[in-house]
């Protein structure tokens, strides 16, 4: 497979460019040719999937200068130099400077093809190793970014790592407040675009008359009130990630223009006919099924198919109770730092109440509850008196007793593991349990010692 690594050919002779390009493309190489090296050097980056074949003798910028600039950018990009005026001293200098090989004109096709194939294999291996190393380095960070112990959240973390490295357009589905923006930011943060901008726009929070200008930008004088040029969100996200929240609310005429951007990877400001190239990853979020909206005529099918390279679905919080306490403790710590208040302790009845609540507002509602709990604001979801608690316990003993006992046991185990920072021997001693019994109860409640080490 050669097409994943592009071959950049640089020569100031048009005839040589044409002959080389034709031969190499017939051999299955993906070729991009340039008469002037300045045009390609500015577009390369540290992890560009390229191999460079450059002439040495050129006006303005010669091959050795090309080699030096690429070496400074990424020493792992193989650069093969060729020259009709080549001699041994020049070849030695080129190899000392880091050239992959030095080829004399007229080129020998078999030798050229063999060397290019080896250079491409080397570049592919370098990029694969970098990607694996990056993924390993980011795994711990991702667990702290997308918090939860449910099977659904673990699966989302795995998919985020894969999709982030691929830089593919993605749709995130989930109810309001379920954390779609957090997953979108994770897709950006753990991608190779993380050093560039993450631009978010809520399509439902902007009037229909303004959303086109906000997305695509406008030129001065393009409409009444347009006193100066405005750079749109798409153009601002060039090189990074564009997050379109509540995309299901986007007006149909704007959807047509967005589709054109996704197809051509260019954007035209309102009042202009000049296409501006953009390279970005687009992440869309919706609480509704876009495929169903497409069938009903409320969302363009072609835009849905273009965006739907990949998709992720975040279940509501009520369907993943294992995530409630880890998330609540996380937001308690954040609120304690933000408001400079001591970190409060949760009582077993409060834990029980947390786990029994349906959380219709999902993670957003949970975060607000944690903020209020730290601030000591009354009338929160955790603020109930002893009489109410007794009524809850007495209300339905036939169906609620075993569940409440399980929740209470889980809370005691979590407190012990958290105090021991996940060390099982110490936790067993504090809880007055044998290590075997502790292990059996942890397995029953799906508790992992690692989550308590991470939380600390």
Q: Assess contact for 157 and 140: CB atoms under 8 A.
A: no
Rounded CA gap, 421 and 403, in Å? 26
Task: State whether 259 and 196 are in the same domain.
Answer: yes
Evaluate whether residue 363 is within a structural domain: yes
Among the candidates 315, 348, 375, a domain finishes at 315
The SS3 call for residue 274 is coil
Is the same domain home to 366 and 449?
Answer: yes
C-alpha separations of 390 from 217, 378, 379, 396 in Å: 60, 19, 18, 11
Clarify whether residues 61 and 201 are in a common domain.
Answer: no
Cis peptide before 106 (omega within 30 of 0): yes
Work out the angle at residue 36's Cα, subtended by the Cα atoms of residues 2 and 33, and round it to the nearest 5 degrees: 25
- Give per-residue pLDDT as tens, 302-317: 999 999 999 999 999 9
Task: Mark which of 85, 101, 129 sits at the end of a domain.
Answer: 129
Same-domain check for residues 247 and 359 = no
Q: Is 357 found in the same domain as 257?
A: no
Q: Any idea which residue has 């687009």 for tokens?
A: 282
Q: Are 40 and 31 a contacting pair, CB within 8 Å?
A: no
One domain for residues 98 and 214: no
How far apart, in whole angstroms, are the C-alpha atoms of residue 99 and residue 65? 11
List the end-to-end C-alpha distance of the chain, in Å, as a whole number: 46
Any domain includes 213 = yes
Do 33 and 55 share a domain, yes or no? yes
Strands (E), 84-220: 101-104, 170-174, 198-202
> Rounded to whole angstroms, what are the CA distances from 93 to 63, 89, 105, 353?
12, 6, 18, 74
d(CA 89, CA 93): 6
Q: How far is CA 14 from CA 25, 34, 35, 311, in A?
A: 16, 9, 7, 45
Worst-scoring range by mean pLDDT, 74-83, 239-248, 255-264, 396-405?
396-405
Q: Quote the tokens at residue 208.
A: 């229909």
Provide the sign of the torsion angle of the four alpha carbons 305, 32, 111, 56, taken in this order. negative
pLDDT tier for residue 85 given thresholds of 50, 70 and 90? low
Q: How many domains does the chain have?
A: 3
Q: Which pLDDT score, from 0 to 100, does residue 346 have? A: 76
Quote the domain boundaries for residue 205: 146-315
pTM assigned to the model:
0.59
Residue-wise pLDDT tens digits, 238-270: 999 999 999 999 999 999 999 999 999 999 998
Q: What is the C-alpha to C-alpha distance for residues 389 and 404, in angstroms, rounded to an integer?
A: 12
Torsion sign across C-alpha atoms 143, 148, 154, 156: negative
CATH number of 202's domain: 3.40.50.300
> Mean pLDDT across the stretch 101-124?
90
Q: How far apart are CA 424 and CA 439, in angstroms?
A: 8
Nearest to 207 by CA among 276, 163, 160, 254: 254
User: Residue 139: inside a domain, yes or no?
Assistant: no
Give a yes or no: residue 25 inside a domain: yes
Write out the two tokens for 197. 């901008």
Structure tokens, 317:
């919080």
User: Looking at 315, 332, 352, which one is the last position of a domain?
Assistant: 315
**Interatomic CA distance for residues 78 and 95, integer angstroms:** 11
pLDDT of residue 124: 87
Indicate the DSSP class of residue 297. T
Predicted pLDDT of residue 133: 66
Q: Is the pLDDT of residue 183 over 50?
A: yes
**Pair 155, 74 in one domain:** no
CA 308 to chain centre: 16
| Alpha-carbon span 355 to 264, nearest angstrom | 48
CATH code, domain carrying 110:
3.40.50.2300
Q: Which of 99-103, 158-162, 270-274, 432-436 has the lowest mean pLDDT?
A: 432-436
Task: Give CA–CA dist 95/101, Å, rounded.
Answer: 7
């Amino acid at each position: 497979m050669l097409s994943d690594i592009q071959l950049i050919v640089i020569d100031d002779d048009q005839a040589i460019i044409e002959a080389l390009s034709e031969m190499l493309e017939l051999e299955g190489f993906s070729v991009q040719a340039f008469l002037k090296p300045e045009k390609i050097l500015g577009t390369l980056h540290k992890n560009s999937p390229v191999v460079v074949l450059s002439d040495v003798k050129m006006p303005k910028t010669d091959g050795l200068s090309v080699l030096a600039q690429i070496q400074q950018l990424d020493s792992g990009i193989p650069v093969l130099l060729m020259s009709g005026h080549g001699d041994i001293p020049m070849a030695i200098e080129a190899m000392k400077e880091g050239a992959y090989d030095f080829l004399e004109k007229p080129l020998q096709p078999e030798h050229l093809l063999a060397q290019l194939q080896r250079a491409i294999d080397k570049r592919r291996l370098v990029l694969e190793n970098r990607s694996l190393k990056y993924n390993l380095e980011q795994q711990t960070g991702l667990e702290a970014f997308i918090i939860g112990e449910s099977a659904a959240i673990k699966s989302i973390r795995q998919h985020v790592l894969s999709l982030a490295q691929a830089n593919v357009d993605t749709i995130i589905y989930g109810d309001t407040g379920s954390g779609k923006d957090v997953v979108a930011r994770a897709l950006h943060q753990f991608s190779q675009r993380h050093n560039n901008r993450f631009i978010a726009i809520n399509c439902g929070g902007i009037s229909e008359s303004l959303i086109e200008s906000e997305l695509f930008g406008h030129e001065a004088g393009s409409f009444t009130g347009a006193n100066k040029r405005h750079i749109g969100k798409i153009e601002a996200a060039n090189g990074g990630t564009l997050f379109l929240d509540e995309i299901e609310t986007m007006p149909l005429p704007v959807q047509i223009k967005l589709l054109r951007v996704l197809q051509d990877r260019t954007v035209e400001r309102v009042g202009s006919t000049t296409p501006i190239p953009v390279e970005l990853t687009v992440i869309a979020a919706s609480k509704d099924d876009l495929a169903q909206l497409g069938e009903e005529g409320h969302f363009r099918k072609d835009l849905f198919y273009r965006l739907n390279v990949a998709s992720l679905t975040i279940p509501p919080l009520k369907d993943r109770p294992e995530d409630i306490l880890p998330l609540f403790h996380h937001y308690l710590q954040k609120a304690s730092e933000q408001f400079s208040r001591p970190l409060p302790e949760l009582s077993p009845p409060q834990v029980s109440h947390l786990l029994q609540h349906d959380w219709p507002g999902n993670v957003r509602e949970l975060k607000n509850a944690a903020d209020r709990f730290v601030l000591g604001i009354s009338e929160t979801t955790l603020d109930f008196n002893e009489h109410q608690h007794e009524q809850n316990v007495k209300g339905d003993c036939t169906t609620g007793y075993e569940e409440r006992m399980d929740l209470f046991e889980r809370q005691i185990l979590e407190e012990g593991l958290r105090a021991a920072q996940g060390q099982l021997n110490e936790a067993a001693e504090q809880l007055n349990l044998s290590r075997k019994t502790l292990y059996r109860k942890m397995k029953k409640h799906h508790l992992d010692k690692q989550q308590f080490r991470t939380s600390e």
